[in-house]
Amino acid sequence: MSIRFKLLATDGAARRGWLQTAHGVIQTPVFMPVGTQATVKGLTPDQLRAAGAQIVLGNTYHLALRPGADVIAELGGLHRFMGWDGPILTDSGGFQIYSLAPTRKIDDHAALFRSHIDGKLVELTPERAVAIQENLGSDIAMCLDECPPYGTAPDYLRVAVERTIRWAERCRAAHKRSDQALFAIVQGGTDLELRSRCARELMALDFPGYALGGFSVGETETQMHAALAPTAALLPTDRPRYLMGVGTPRDLLLGIRAGIDMFDCVLPTRNGRNGSAFTKEGEVRLRNACHKRDPRPLESDCPCYVCRHFSRAYLHHLFLAKEMLGPTLLSLHNVAFYCRLMAEARQAIEERRFDDFTAVRLVRWGQSP
């Protein structure tokens, strides 16, 4: 097997483990910064490492369009191309089947897109999604799936689940690269019966890891978490569990409590680019005038580069002056915040106090446990 996963401790459903990949060991639970186009926006690989990042994401659809998976393979693979020597996970393009719905057609054979770059037709089959990811050389590749939005009619939701299962079978048959793990994706919306069926049939194919897709696509937070825990409980205990595209710090803690090991989301860098910082006391909006003369760091006990060197007043100035350093610094702090939150969660699980840790954090953020 191209990866090894080991559970080290549990606290209720929360899990503490490690995941061995071809490019290093990942301590779980883990947050994965999103580098859709072979870059985590505004941050260098050295900055990501210093912030505590263990693994980053790339995207099959975007990298296949530009610069092309063949170009990246010719230049030594995605790790060398982007200067990141740690583990990489690549999404299959399944999310683009959801996000580019107005410009795509889909049937059991493939998804057909209009390129968002030049309008050319792009066909993405399960086999091509696997071939692209093998060319990229990621440590973890994802099966192509169909991610239906919340509110999809029950009959079509069933069709999407059946298609996801058939596509996973085709991805499994097409995947040949021995140093790359292929994860399957469980779909089914908030329908627990469909989720259970999808999980059961994918588990029969014996993938080395499983993701939960189709969350945070229009349903309420309450609906998401009501479906998340029972779905996670269906998955094998000896395989990593990945919740795709979710979410806020609260979502991460509740996801860990439900038994999830891996997370990704664009929020740390997107919010950073827009002047918003995550802290233990909640979000800080650096454009607000109250920070103009504030000499404090974003967080007094944060060891990140930003908090060790700069004041809120300086960060406020950068955003008002529209200096590009502002988004970079807040993105760096936010990634460090997310990674530190995961490290503290791992310690809390080891010490069997994860529920207390979560409750204290949520109260600080003004949120219900």
Three-state SS annotation for 155-203: HHHHHHHHHHHHHHHHHHHHCCCCCCEEEEEECCCCCHHHHHHHHHHHH
Nearest Cα neighbor of 249 from 107, 362, 115 is 362
Q: Is 268:287 a contact under the CB 8 Å cutoff?
A: no
Backbone phi, psi, residue 227, to 5°: -90, -25
Q: Is 196 exposed, middle or buried (0-12, 13-18, 19+ CB in 10 A)?
A: middle
Instruction: Give the residue numbers annotated as catalytic, written as ranges.
Output: 91, 264
Range of the domain at 286: 266-369
Element (DSSP H or E) covering residue 57:
strand 56-59
Q: At what angle do helices 325-350 and 249-257 cross, to 10 degrees?
A: 20
Which of 200, 228, 261 represents a domain boundary (last residue)? 261
Measured CA distances, 148 to 105, 111, 152, 190, 367 (Å): 13, 13, 6, 11, 29
In this predicted model, what pLDDT tens digit does every residue of 63-101 receive, in sequence order?
A: 999 999 999 999 999 999 999 999 999 999 887 877 777
Strand partners, 30: 262
Rounded Cα distance, 30 and 294, in Å: 33
Q: How far is CA 265 from CA 35, 50, 248, 335, in A?
A: 10, 19, 8, 10
Tokens, residue 117: 């770059």
68 and 130 part of one domain: yes
**CATH number of 230's domain:** 3.20.20.105
Residue 1's pLDDT is 59
Burial class (CB in 10 A: 0-12, 13-18, 19+), 1: exposed
180 and 114 together in one domain? yes
Asked if 205 and 277 sit in the same domain, the reply is: no
Q: Considering 241, 261, 281, which residue would you say is the last residue of a domain? A: 261
Other beta carbons within 10 Å of 342:
23
User: Is residue 51 within 8 Å of 304, Cβ to Cβ?
Assistant: yes
**CA distance linking residue 132 with residue 207, whole number of Å:** 19
pLDDT < 70 regions, the chain = 1
Cα(367)–Cα(369) distance, rounded to whole angstroms?
Answer: 7
* Same-domain check for residues 26 and 8: yes
Q: How many CB atoms lie within 10 A of CB 123?
A: 11
Residues 270 and 336 in one domain: yes
Q: Are 173 and 273 in the same domain? A: no
Gyration radius (Cα) of the chain, Å: 20
153 CB-side CA count, 13 A = 3
Q: Are residues 172 and 220 in the same domain?
A: yes
Of the candidates 197, 232, 261, which is a domain's last residue? 261
Distance, in Å, from the CA atom of 270 to the CA atom of 179, rounded to the nearest integer, reads 32
Do 244 and 272 belong together in one domain? no
Q: Does the predicted TM-score (pTM) go above 0.85?
A: yes
Q: Rounded to an integer, what distance in angstroms lies between the CA atom of residue 70 and that of residue 63?
A: 10
Residue 73 to residue 212: CA distance in whole angstroms: 29
Q: Six-digit token pair at 236?
A: 């094998």
Q: Tell me: do 270 and 256 sit in the same domain.
A: no
Q: How many domains does the chain have?
A: 2
Could you read off the pLDDT of 182-222 as tens digits, one per residue?
999 999 999 999 999 999 999 999 999 999 999 999 999 99
Task: Clarify whether residues 203 and 342 are in a common domain.
Answer: no
